[in-house]
Structures are given as structure tokens and as C-alpha cells.
Amino acid sequence: MEYKPIKKVISGNYAAAYAAKDARVEVVAAYPITPQTSIIEKISEFLANGEVENLQYVPVESEHSAMAACIGASAAGARTFTATSAQGLALMHEMLHWASGARLPVVMVDVNRAMAPPWSVWDDQTDSLAQRDTGWMQFYAENNQEVYDGVLMAFKVAETVNLPAMIIESAFILSHTYDVVEMVPQELVDEFLPPRKPLYTLTDFDNPIAVGALGTPADYYEFRYKIEKAMAEARKVIKNVGKEFGERFGRDYSQMIELYRTEDADFVFMGLGSLMGTVKQAVDVLRSEGYKVGAAKVRWFRPFPKEELYELARHVEGIAVLDRNFSFGQEGILFNEAKGVLYNTDAHPAMKNYIVGLGGRDFTVDDVRKIAEDMKTIIECKKIDKEVEWYHLKR
Amino acid sequence: MEIPENVKRRLSLPFEENFYAGHTACQGCAAALGLRYVLKAYGKKAIFAIPACCSTIIAGPWPYSAFNAPLFHTAFETTGAVISGIEAALKAKGYKVKGEEGIMVVGWAGDGGTADIGLQALSGFLERGHDGLYIMYDNEAYMNTGIQRSSSTPYGAWTTNTPGGKKHFLERRHKKKVIDIVIAHKIPYAATASVAFPEDLMRKLKKAQRIPGPSFIQLFAPCPTGWRSPTDKSIELARLAVQTAYFPLFEYENGKYKINMPSTKKEPKPLEEFLKLQGRFKYMSKEDIEVLQKWVLMEWEELKKKAEVFG
Amino acid sequence: MAESPFKADIERVEKEYSEKMTPGAIVYLPGSSVVNKTGSWRVFMPEFHKDKCVRCYLCYIYCPEPAIYLDEENYPIFDYDYCKGCGVCANECPTKAIVMVREKK
């Protein structure tokens, strides 16, 4: 069957809901939090209108219970989905470890939102990046289309390597902003994403299993190594699934770092998520003004694309890392990880960290231009004035 | 020798064993006995979710398992949420849940993991109406972590963080009535049970299997290690608890209270018979025992009134 | 039922069991705890006096391990491989057919 996309003008949250429906998810257990609410509202609407078969929606009483219910459902063999944001994600932290340790392919959409206090509902990446050690794969979406595609691919990748995955979108910038999304007809999704074949299931009564028993020091080490092995395998699986997605539906995701006009760039901007959309626009403007710049959008933060970063770093003289997040007492998280990856290699471009847009502060093309000027000075003088710059600081 | 009729009538437990010996419970552990009964009742068609508690260790460290039924170990406070998720998955996949041929989803948690940290998840499970069974085995403290007090610890009991000392004992709070909290959710079936009355427990387990919707059983399980009682007295303590009305047996079914035998019989025995077998009550003076006795009788009167009005 | 219900399982576990590290720490051999012979824990052991036994089965019902099973005539047999010596059976026996004695090593 030929791929004729179904075009709808929808928000990022609705794109996530449609993708979960198309993926034939079986159990959704979620707790409301701004700005994720419209995801589960849409899924409930599908349920009420009879548009989904075999979907059980569990309106749990907290995010911690939401992840626990998803884990129980996934262990019983069902395809599960949930969504949350900032405080909710922080509350589920214990169970995030449980999902990856029990090797359950739960897929979650996290809407990047700033952590309180002070209360904020706007875009900030610290909440999801603070969970980078939990063993979950992380995909950052730049626009509503990537949210839709990301959820579909995440199910396939997660169920292949048996590790959970989260798709991350920006609060309000993506979640509540309407854009054209090309969706895939159900039959083609079924071809791309067959029903789940679980690694184990609690419903096998002839061979009953016990999951997650006590692991003494003699055994625990190897179990954790197995998780890392799965993450390493995930790099290959992600590239293959991204390539397959491109072959089937015309949008290729085989690059874990999307490179935009970086072939002859002097320096590149590197970052995660929707702010890279602004950066790509700025790159076009700067190129027209004579700068030789490019944008490197890190799509998958876990597993970290070490080889792709090395390949990029070998050919540029500078990387301006834009972090819409911060790890207090250290520096921007993407900057810290990227620096660490390159340390033992022979690629050492000038790298500076710009902390931008925390708590949803606006980050515009003009800001990118100012950063470009700063980077140009750094590369010409071969000296970095300060490694971490809090760009927007007013007072 | 010919088996007398009144003995024959006692043989109402199924003989099939699904709980294997070689597990690492303490000598005389009533929680292990409770697990044995539940596994006997449900055969292999049950999925268990067990949080962090003594039963985590009893069920066996990797790679050993004492269970002959699927078991999911989960985090401490999540029992109610995990069984909700398992039940939703079974329904989404078209399995039959509860009923004669259906799969039983059982959450087996201790008093700490239910009355304290697990109360939120339990309340969510009961309120949403999932078809499952939640069994709280009550040994009246956090035994697995070394006998710390929980909200289910009675007045006057010694625990490691409410010890008795040269001045006084620290546990001055009465036992939290989890069963009343559960009944406030107006679920179709809730009951109390004791390991000393296994046929009564079996009957209640079978009933929980039949009645759709969420079911709750609070199982009284003495712990010789934590109660400082002799290991051979565990069953006797469980029996005395019922006979002194410290832990009366009753059921709540569709809005009606029903007191079960032997709590229906005669006057309750004096509480001292129950207390003197346990080392954890040795710091109590005569006045303190009076306080506890008064509380027991007050709760017992309240239950009898409820059974009268809502019977 | 003259043979211990657990003997067959020990053979199966020892035959099938391998050091395969299953992801998620899955235990795929139900009942494999039988390789752990907890009989070594005890100090006292139950001594059975068959002449006093009325086959009420209370010992069988109340054993927490369970380490008591029934023979063809429905008399209890004590599995000393697993009996931890807790004494519940002796305490509950209505005819005192079970007596806890110090184990002679």
C-alpha cells in the first residue's frame, strides 16, 4: 500500500495521542499535570468515541502509581504508554529505575517543564535530563511531526532492546502549538510496528516466573551490565529503525545527531529539542550574512551518540552548546556530557556553554546571532573567556 | 483407626501445594503460612505482586523461588498500583479476570506497605473498582527492616524505634484500623482473617474470587521474631487474638457487616492471656494493660453495633 | 503420598539449573527454593508418636514450611530436610503425639 499521509493541524500533545492510538497501545495509566493534560484527554476521547479497541485507561492517583501501573501492565505483556512532566517525572523517579531494571518497554512522553520552586509551567529541559541515569532511552523532538514519528519509533526500538523510552517535547512551544503533522494510516503503522512479543510475561501459568527477586553482590553486577549491553545495542537498532522509517514514510531518522549545514561550517550550534528549530532558522540568516555556521541537533540523548559527536567535532573549530537546563554545582548537562565524550579523543574544538531559555525565557534568532558573534571572537582569538555563560542574565 | 465424622468435616483445605519448602522465613513465621494458604487456594491461576517486605525474602533470592505461580516484585508503595496495571493488561488482552475460570490478581503486602506508605496506591486500587484482591498480612510492625513501628502497631508494644526503657515505653498510639478505611471505600467485599482459622480464610479467599470488583482481606499473622514470642506459639497467638476480640473476624459484603465464628461466641477472653505470651508487651504496667483492654472492648462494641445496624 | 512432594523438584532444579543471568532478574524455575535444605537451622526436632495420632491433620495444616506431608494411610510424615524446628506442630497437636526433643547431632 502506498503511503498517503493523513495531514492534520494538531498540537504536539495531540500528535503524541494519535501516535499512541496508531501504535495500538493497550494500557494507558496517567495522572494529569500541566502541560501534558491534553495527551490523556485526547486518548480518553478516542476511548469514549470507540475509536480504539482493546485500550484500558487507568486514571491513577499519582504519577508514581502511573509508572507502577504501567510496569505491572507491561510485565503482564501489554503495550503501555504514559505521559507526564516536571514534578510528575520527578515523583516517578524511583519507578523509572524499576522499569529499566525489569527490562520493560514502557513508552512515555515527557513534556519538558521547569522544576519548582518557583512554580513554572514553561519549557525547561532539566526535568528530563535529571533522569539520564535511570536507564531510559531519551529522544528529543524538535517539532510536532517529530513527536508523532518519535512515539512510533520509540515503541519499535523499546520492544526490540527491551528498555523503556521517553519522547520529550517542549511545554507549550510544542505541546499546545498547532502545526501540520503528517500521520500514517493504520495499516501501514501495523506493518511497521507488529504486535509486541514480550521478553517475558506473567500470564504464562505453565512456566511461572518471578521477576525482580533479590540480587546479592555475587549477581547484581551482571544484571546491570546487561542493561548497558542493551543500550549499546540500541544505538544500532535506532539507526536501523530510523532508516526503515525513512524508507517507508519518507522522513529519515537514521542520524542520531541531525546535522544541518555543517559540512563546511567553522563552528556549529549544538542543542536539544525545539530550540534547535530557532537555531536552524538563525543558521540560514547567518549564512546569508557570510557566517559559516551549522546546527547539530542531538536527537537521542540516551544512548548518547558518541561516534556521531566525534565525527562532527573532528571537522569544526568550535561548538556552541546551548543548554536549556543546568546541573547545579557543575555546568549545562549536554555540554558536560559532550565534553566528556571528546576528552579521550583527538577532536578538541573550542567548546563554550550558553545557558539559555530556562523556565521558558524566550530564545530568538537575535540571541543566536549574538552567540555566533561571541563564538567567532573565541575562535579567532583562540581563547575562551569563560566556559559557562548564563546568557540571559539581567540582574 | 476410623476417622471420626467431626474430624472428617475439617478437611476443607485443598491438598495441592504451590508453596515450596526451603524458603528463608523465620521459624514459626505466620506470614509464610499465610502465603502457603493463599497459594493453596488459588492454585496456579494467580498473579502475585509483592512489594518490599519479609515476603520478598521468603519468596526467594535470585535464582531461587518458593512460588509455583507468577510473581512480580515491586517497589514498596506500589502494590495497589501494580495490581491495577496487571488487571488492566489482562483485560486489554481479553483474559477473564476473577470468577471460576478467571485469573486472580493478588497483591500481598505487609501492614507497613499498606497502612503507611502504600495507602495511596491501595485507595486508588479500591476506588477505581479493579477486579483484584489485596491481602494485607498484619504482623504489626515493619518486620523486614528490623522491627520498627508502623501505624498498625498496638499501644504498648516494644519495637526498635519505640522501645521500652528505664522511664517508660514510647508506643502510646493505638492501632490504626485499616479495615475501616477500606470499608469507607464501599467496596463489594472486605474481611478480616487469621492464620489460626484456615478454613475461614479459605472460604473468604474463595468468596473474594467469586465477587467481582476490588476485595480486601486483612490477615493476622503473628511474628515470633518481632513480638518476642516463642516460635511454637504463633498459631496460638493468632487464635487468642480472635478469642480476646483484639482482632475479631468479620466480613463486609455489599454494605452489610457479618461477624464470623468464633468471634460470635461468648464473651471475649481477657486480653492478658494474649499479652503475656509476647515479650513485646513486658514494659506495660497494670494501668497500661487496662488502657489497651478498654480500647479492645470499645472497638469490639463498635463492631457489634455496626453488625446490628448494618447486618 | 509416601514420597516427599519436593524430591522430584530438587532433581529437576539441579538438572535444569544453569548460571544463565536472565535479564530483569527473572527466576524461571518455580520452586527452586527446595535446594536450600533449611533442616540445618533447627535445634529442636519434632518426635512423632504414631500410637497417639488421631489423624486430625492439624500439624499438616499449620506447618509454615510446609515440612509435613501425609502418607497413604494419611499419617503425617515429617520432612527433616526442611523442618526448622519451630514447634508449632507440637503446640497444636491435640493428643500430644508430637514432642519437641533436642536434636542429637
Q: The domain spanning residue A290 has which CATH number?
A: 3.40.50.920
Q: Do A222 and C21 touch (CB under 8 A)?
A: yes
Q: Do C27 and A102 touch (CB under 8 A)?
A: no
Residue C37 to chain B, least CA–CA distance (Å): 6
Do A309 and A332 share a domain, yes or no?
yes
Q: What is the pLDDT of residue B311?
A: 81
Is residue A34 within 8 A of residue B41, CB to CB? The reply is no
Averaged pLDDT score across all residues of chain A: 94
CA distances from A185 to A43, A157, B278 (A): 17, 20, 69
Q: What is the pLDDT of residue A310?
A: 94
Single out the residue of A129, A131, A138, A142 nearest to residue A170, CA to CA: A142
Residues of B within an 8 Å Cβ radius of C: 1, 3-4, 7, 10-11, 13, 15, 17, 19-25, 27-30, 32-33, 36, 60, 62-69, 198, 224, 230-236
Helix residue spans in chain A (DSSP H):
12-22, 37-48, 63-75, 86-91, 93-101, 126-129, 144-161, 186-192, 220-249, 275-288, 306-315, 333-343, 365-381
Closest-CA residue of C relative to B21 is C65
Rg of chain B over all Cα atoms, to the nearest angstrom: 19
Q: Do B72 and A29 touch (CB under 8 A)?
A: no
Kindly report, residue by residue over B157-175, the tens digit of the pLDDT.
999 999 988 778 888 999 9
Is residue B64 within 8 A of residue B249, CB to CB? The reply is no
Q: What is the pLDDT of residue C1?
A: 42
Domains delineated in chain C: 1-12+37-105 (3.30.70.20)
Q: At which of A216, A249, A282 does a domain end?
A: A249
**Which residues of B are less than 8 Å from C6 in CB distance?**
20-22
Q: Is A326 helix (H, G, I), strand (E, B) or coil?
A: coil
Q: What is the pLDDT of residue B64?
A: 86
CA distances from B201 to A321, B191, B207, B234, C96 (A): 64, 9, 10, 16, 26
**Cα gap A283→A261, rounded to integer Å:** 8
For B94-108, give one letter per residue: b (16+ CB within 10 A) or e: eeebbeeebbbbbbb
| CA atoms A45, A47, A53, A55: torsion sign | positive
**Cα gap C26→A47, rounded to integer Å:** 34
**Which residues of A are less than 8 Å from B127 in CB distance?**
61
| CA atoms B77, B78, B79, B80: torsion sign | positive
C-alpha cell belonging to residue B13: 483445605
Single out the residue of A108, A210, A194, A113 nearest to residue A156, CA to CA: A194
Amino acid in the structure at residue B310:
F
Do A138 and A164 share a domain, yes or no?
yes
Closest-CA residue of B relative to A31 is B124
B297 and A CB contact within 8 Å = no
Q: Do B235 and C67 touch (CB under 8 A)?
A: no
For B171-180, give one letter per residue: b (16+ CB within 10 A) or e: beebbbbbbe
Q: Do C27 and B62 touch (CB under 8 A)?
A: yes
For C61-84, give one letter per residue: b (16+ CB within 10 A) or e: bbbbbbbbbbeeeeebbbbebbbb
Do A326 and A363 share a domain, yes or no?
yes
C35 and B CB contact within 8 Å = yes
Which distant-in-sequence residues (6+ apart) come within 8 Å of B189 by Cβ? B207, B208, B211, B213, B215, B216, B251, B252, B253, B254
Is residue B153 within 8 A of residue B162, CB to CB? The reply is yes
**Cα gap A62→B77, rounded to integer Å:** 12
B72 and A CB contact within 8 Å = yes
C55 and B CB contact within 8 Å = yes
Q: Which of B72, B75, B95 sits opposite A94 (nearest CB)?
A: B75
pLDDT band at B16 (very low <50, low <70, confident <90, very high): confident
∠ at Cα A300 (A299, A305), nearest 5°? 105
Q: What is the pLDDT of residue A340?
A: 94
A20 and B CB contact within 8 Å = no
Check pLDDT > 60 for residue C18.
no
**Cα gap B60→B24, rounded to integer Å:** 7
Do A78 and A198 share a domain, yes or no?
yes
C-alpha cell belonging to residue A378: 573565541
Averaged pLDDT score across all residues of chain B: 91
In eight-state DSSP terms, residue B9 is T
What residues of chain A, 189 to 248, have a C-beta less than 8 Å from chain B?
202-205, 208-216, 219
Strand partners, A318: A267, A350
Q: Indicate whether A228 belongs to any domain.
A: yes
Question: Torsions phi, psi of A267, nearest 5?
Answer: -140, 160
Q: At which of A192, A216, A249 does a domain end?
A: A249
Q: Do B92 and A73 touch (CB under 8 A)?
A: yes
Q: Do C91 and B235 touch (CB under 8 A)?
A: yes
Residue A204 to chain B, least CA–CA distance (Å): 8
Angle between helices B198-210 and B30-42 in degrees, nearest 10: 50
A76 and B CB contact within 8 Å = yes
CA distances from A153 to A14, A85, A165, B26, B231 (A): 17, 21, 10, 49, 57
Q: For each of chain A's 395 residues, which pLDDT tens digit applies?
A: 788 999 999 999 999 999 999 999 999 999 999 999 999 999 999 999 999 989 999 999 999 999 999 999 999 999 999 999 999 999 999 999 999 999 999 999 999 999 999 999 999 999 999 999 999 999 999 999 999 999 999 999 999 999 999 999 999 999 999 999 999 999 999 999 999 999 999 999 988 999 988 888 988 898 999 999 999 999 999 999 999 999 999 999 999 999 999 999 999 999 999 999 999 999 999 999 999 999 999 999 999 999 999 999 999 999 999 999 999 999 999 999 999 999 999 999 999 999 999 999 999 999 999 999 999 999 999 888 899 999 998 87
How many structural domains is chain A composed of? Answer: 2
| Contacts A–B by Cβ distance under 8 A | 159
Q: How many CB atoms are located within 10 Å of the residue B6 CB?
A: 8
Do A351 and A300 share a domain, yes or no?
yes
Q: Do C23 and A104 touch (CB under 8 A)?
A: no
Q: What is the pLDDT of residue B155?
A: 93
B92 and A CB contact within 8 Å = yes
Q: What is the pLDDT of residue A230?
A: 93
Closest-CA residue of B relative to A29 is B85
Residues of A within an 8 Å Cβ radius of C: 101-104, 162, 199-200, 207-213, 215, 219, 222-223, 226-227, 230
Can you point out the beta strands (E) in B23-103?
46-50, 71-73
One-character DSSP codes across B109-139: EESIIIIITTHHHHHHHHHHT-S-EEEEEE-
Angle between helices A333-343 and A306-315 in degrees, nearest 10: 80
C20 and A CB contact within 8 Å = no
Closest-CA residue of B relative to C50 is B1
Residue C13 to chain A, least CA–CA distance (Å): 13
**Cα gap A57→A73, rounded to integer Å:** 11
Do A182 and A264 share a domain, yes or no?
no
Give the domain B14-309 fold. Answer: Rossmann fold (3.40.50)
| CA atoms B38, B40, B44, B45: torsion sign | negative
Domain boundaries, chain B: 14-309
Which of B54, B65, B84, B128 has the highest number of chain A CBs within 10 A, making it the mutation to test binding with A?
A: B84
Q: Do C88 and B234 touch (CB under 8 A)?
A: yes
Helix residue spans in B244-310 (DSSP H):
272-275, 286-309
Closest-CA residue of B relative to C67 is B21
Q: The domain spanning residue A102 has which CATH number?
A: 3.40.50.970
Q: Do C27 and A215 touch (CB under 8 A)?
A: no
Rg of chain C over all Cα atoms, to the nearest angstrom: 16
A95 and B CB contact within 8 Å = yes
Q: What is the ipTM of this complex?
A: 0.92
Is residue A320 within 8 A of residue A269, CB to CB? The reply is yes
Q: What is the pLDDT of residue B15?
A: 75
Q: Is B290 helix (H, G, I), strand (E, B) or coil?
A: helix
**Cα gap B76→A212, rounded to integer Å:** 13
Compute the 3-state secondary structure of chain C and give helix, strand, coil in percent, each to the nearest 5: 30, 15, 55
Query: Residue B80 CA to chain centroid, in angstroms?
Result: 15
Can you point out the beta strands (E) in chain B?
46-50, 71-73, 104-110, 133-138, 189-194, 215-220, 250-253, 256-259
**Residue range(s) defining the domain that contains residue A386:** 257-390
Q: What is the pLDDT of residue A2?
A: 85
Strands B46-50 and B71-73: parallel
Residue B67 to chain C, least CA–CA distance (Å): 6
∠ at Cα A380 (A374, A385), nearest 5°? 50
Residue C26 to chain A, least CA–CA distance (Å): 4
pLDDT band at B6 (very low <50, low <70, confident <90, very high): low
| Contacts B–C by Cβ distance under 8 A | 122
Do A234 and A299 share a domain, yes or no?
no
C-alpha cell belonging to residue C45: 526436632
Which of B39, B50, B67, B72 has the highest number of chain A CBs within 10 A, making it the mutation to test binding with A?
A: B72
One-character DSSP codes across A336-395: HHHHHHHHTSS---EEEEEE--GGG----HHHHHHHHHHHHHHHHHT--S-SEEETT---
Strands A56-58 and C44-48: unpaired
Q: Give the CB-side neighbour count of residue C27, counting CA atoms within 13 A.
A: 28
Single out the residue of C98, C85, C8 nearest to residue C51, CA to CA: C98
Using CB atoms, list chains with 3+ pairs below 8 Å to chain B. A, C
C21 and A CB contact within 8 Å = yes
Do A371 and A318 share a domain, yes or no?
yes
Residue A79 to chain C, least CA–CA distance (Å): 17
Q: At which of A198, A222, A249 does a domain end?
A: A249
Single out the residue of B264, B266, B236, B227 nearest to residue B248, CA to CA: B264
**Cα gap A81→A18, rounded to integer Å:** 12
Euclidean distance between the first and the last CA atom of chain A, given in angstroms as a whole number: 59
Q: Indicate whether A395 belongs to any domain.
A: no
Q: Indicate whether A361 belongs to any domain.
A: yes
Amino acid in the structure at residue B19:
F
Kindly report, residue by residue over B42-82, the tens digit of the pLDDT.
988 999 999 999 999 998 888 888 999 999 999 999 999 99
Q: What is the pLDDT of residue C11?
A: 66
**Which residues of A are less than 8 Å from B86 in CB distance?**
72-73, 75-76, 202
Check pLDDT > 50 for residue B3.
no
∠ at Cα B108 (B51, A105), nearest 5°? 50
Q: Do B103 and A203 touch (CB under 8 A)?
A: yes
Do A167 and A94 share a domain, yes or no?
yes
